Amino acid sequence: MIGGRGRLFKSTKTGYVQRHVVVNESHVMRKLFYMGLEPYEGRYTLQLQDWSERAFKRRGIDYVVVPGTTIDNTKAIQVGQVLDAHGRSYFAMSQMMNLVQMMRNGEVTGEDVVFFEDMFQPGMESLPYIMDQIPAEQRPQVWIRCLAQAVDPDDFVHVWGMGKWMSLYEEMCNEFVTGVLASNEEMVAHMKIANWKAPLYNVSGLAFDKTEVQERVNDVLKSWDQRENRVVFTARFDQEKQPDFYMDMIEEWYATPGTPEVEFAILQGGPLRSNNPKYIERARKMEKRGQLKIYENLKKDEYYNIVNNSKVLFNCALQDWTSNTVSEADALGCNVLFPAYRSFPEIFANCYERMYIPWSINDAMNKLEKLLLVPHKDVGKISNWTSSTIDRYIDIMSGDGEQWRRDDNRYRDHVAVNKY
C-alpha cells in the first residue's frame, strides 16, 4: 500500500530520522487530492487548475480539488513578485485547513495522493506533524512540484534575503515527502547539490495545455505574412529576468545600420512592476523615444492575441525554469529566442537556431534577425511536448513513471537526448 508504510533512514544532512514513502509500481492511486494555486488573471495560475482537471478527467483520475479562500477579489499581485505575498499565505493556509479537515474525517487514506502544485505551501509543516502521529494506513503519499526557491542561486528569495529560512523550509519538505517533481535536469542538479534525499523526478516541462491556449484565439493562428513585425518580452520585469539585456539589445538594434524596422514590446498582465525601479524608469524613457511599446494590464485573451500577431518572443532570464511563455508562444505559431542557459537547451532540444550565447548582444541580434524572416521548422514541437507534462505527473504518482527518476549524478546526460 503506497502512502501507508514509510522507509526510515538517517539523513546525512540533518541527522534526523527521515521518512519517505516507498513507491510501489503496481499501485493504483485511489484518489488524488489536488492542491492548486490561487487564481491570478495576469499569471498562469488561473489556467493551471483547468489544465490539470482536463488531464485528470481524460485519464479517468478520481480527484478532489482542495479549495482555498482568496484574500480579496482582485485576482492580481499587490505585494511581492511571483505570487502575492499576503495572498499566497492566506490561500495556502485556508487550503491546508480544508485538507486537514478531510484527513480528520477519514476522507484521505494511505491509498491516496496529495499533490502540491508548488513546494512553497504555507501551513505544509502541519502534514509531517499529523502523519507522524496517525496510523500508517491513513498516511497519503505527498508529492510536490519544485519550481525553484532556495535551491536556485538566482531565485527572487535571495534578492529579498529569504534564502536562509527558505532553505530550512526545503529541508522540512525533504524529510517527509514521497517525491519531488522537478521541471528539468538542471533543477535536479541544483537539488542534488543542496543534498536533497527525497526521490527526484524530472518531468521535463511545466504543466501546459496547447488546445486550451489555441482556443483562446478561436483556433485561428495567424499566418506568418499576416503577423506584425513585432518582438515581445513577456517575462516579469525583475532583475533575475534581465530586462536590461533586452533594452540594451533594442538600443543596439536601433544603432546598427541596415536592421529592419521592428516593434519591440513588453507584455504584462498587470501594471509594469519590478524589484529594481531603474528598469521601469529606463523602459518608460525608451517608450517616449519610440524604441519600445509597453502593453500593461492585459487579460490572458488579450495577451494571447498579441502573441498570435507577433513573430518572435524574446527571453533573457537568468532564472527561468522551462518557462510557460515558450510553450504559449510556440503553441501560437510565434518563433522563440532564448539564451542557451540553464533549462533551455533541454526544452529546446539543443536547437542552436533558437538559442543565443548568453549575454552576447551580437549573437542575440543575429539570431533574432533570422527568426523575423520565416517561422522556424520546429514551431509547435515544444508545446506538443509540454502538453504531455501533466500526463508525466500522473504516471509518476501512479507508479508508472520510473524512467523519469533521477537517483544518480548522470542527470545532464538526458539533456543531450532530442525529445522531438
Q: What is the pLDDT of residue 370?
A: 98
Quick check: helix, strand or coil at residue 418? coil
Full domain range(s) for residue 314: 210-385
Q: What is the pLDDT of residue 27?
A: 57
Q: Is residue 174 domain-shared with residue 80, that is, in the same domain?
A: yes
Read off the pLDDT band of 144 (50, 70, 90).
very high
Tell me: pLDDT of 293 over 90: yes
Tell me: pLDDT of 26 over 80: no
Q: Is residue 400 domain-shared with residue 357, that is, in the same domain?
A: no
Summarize the confidence of residues 79-105 as an average pLDDT: 84
167 Rama sector, left if φ>0, alpha if ψ -120 to 50, beta otherwise: alpha
Residue 79 located in a structural domain: yes
Q: What is the pLDDT of residue 198?
A: 96
Q: Is residue 63 domain-shared with residue 170, that is, in the same domain?
A: yes
The three grid cell numbers given for residue 160, joined into one nine-digit string: 529579498
Residue 342 located in a structural domain: yes
Count of helices and strands (H, E) across the chain: 15, 14
Q: What is the pLDDT of residue 83?
A: 65
Q: What is the pLDDT of residue 71?
A: 79
Dump pLDDT digits (tens) for 337-396: 999 988 899 999 989 999 999 999 999 999 999 999 999 999 999 999 999 999 999 999
Pairing of strands 113-116, 179-182: unpaired
Pairing of strands 6-10, 17-21: antiparallel
Dump pLDDT digits (tens) for 46-63: 789 999 999 999 999 999
Q: Is residue 186 domain-shared with residue 301, that is, in the same domain?
A: no
Summarize the confidence of residues 132-136 as an average pLDDT: 95
Q: Is residue 268 domain-shared with residue 397, that is, in the same domain?
A: no
Q: Is residue 45 domain-shared with residue 138, that is, in the same domain?
A: yes
Distance CA 312, CA 323 (A): 15
Q: How much is the mean pLDDT over the chain? A: 88
Read off the pLDDT band of 214 (50, 70, 90).
very high
Q: What is the pLDDT of residue 16?
A: 32
Q: What is the pLDDT of residue 340?
A: 93
Q: Is residue 126 domain-shared with residue 34, that is, in the same domain?
A: yes
Residue 414 buriedness (CB in 10 A; 0-12 / 13-18 / 19+) = middle
Tell me: pLDDT of 145 over 90: yes
CB 204, CB 392: distance < 8 Å? yes
CB 107, CB 78: distance < 8 Å? no
Residue 346 located in a structural domain: yes
Tell me: pLDDT of 3 over 60: no
Quick check: helix, strand or coil at residue 195? coil
Work out the angle between the directed axes of helices 243-255 and 277-288 (0-180°, nearest 10): 30
Count of domains forming the chain: 2
Q: What is the pLDDT of residue 41?
A: 66
Q: What is the pLDDT of residue 15?
A: 35
Residue 345 located in a structural domain: yes
Report CA-CA distances (Å) from 416 to 182, 319, 341, 387: 18, 21, 14, 21
Read off the pLDDT band of 82 (50, 70, 90).
low
Q: Is residue 217 domain-shared with residue 180, that is, in the same domain?
A: no
Percent above pLDDT 70 for the chain = 89
Tell me: pLDDT of 310 over 70: yes
Q: Is residue 120 domain-shared with residue 231, that is, in the same domain?
A: no
Q: What is the pLDDT of residue 78?
A: 59
Tell me: pLDDT of 296 over 60: yes
Residue 327 located in a structural domain: yes
Tell me: pLDDT of 140 over 50: yes
Quick check: helix, strand or coil at residue 156? helix
Read off the pLDDT band of 156 (50, 70, 90).
confident
Q: Is residue 369 domain-shared with residue 392, that is, in the same domain?
A: no
Percent above pLDDT 90 for the chain = 66
Q: Is residue 401 domain-shared with residue 265, that is, in the same domain?
A: no
| Domain at 150, CATH number | 3.40.50.2000
Tell me: pLDDT of 25 over 50: no
Summarize the confidence of residues 183-197 as an average pLDDT: 90
Lowest mean pLDDT segment, chosen from 84-88, 118-122, 258-262: 84-88
Tell me: pLDDT of 179 over 70: yes
Q: What is the pLDDT of residue 220?
A: 94
Q: What is the pLDDT of residue 152?
A: 77
Residue 1 located in a structural domain: no
Q: Looking at per-residue confidence, does 322 or 371 come out higher?
A: 371
Distance CA 244, CA 250 (A): 10
Q: Is residue 204 domain-shared with residue 332, that is, in the same domain?
A: no
| Nearest CA-CA partner of 380 in 208, 122, 184, 236 | 208
Q: What does the radius of gyration of the chain's CA atoms come to, in whole angstroms?
A: 22
Residue 65 located in a structural domain: yes
Q: What is the pLDDT of residue 162?
A: 79
The three grid cell numbers given for residue 94, joined into one nine-digit string: 485556508
| Nearest CA-CA partner of 35 in 125, 108, 111, 98 | 98
Residue 72 located in a structural domain: yes
Summarize the confidence of residues 391-418 as an average pLDDT: 87
The three grid cell numbers given for residue 124, joined into one nine-digit string: 505544509
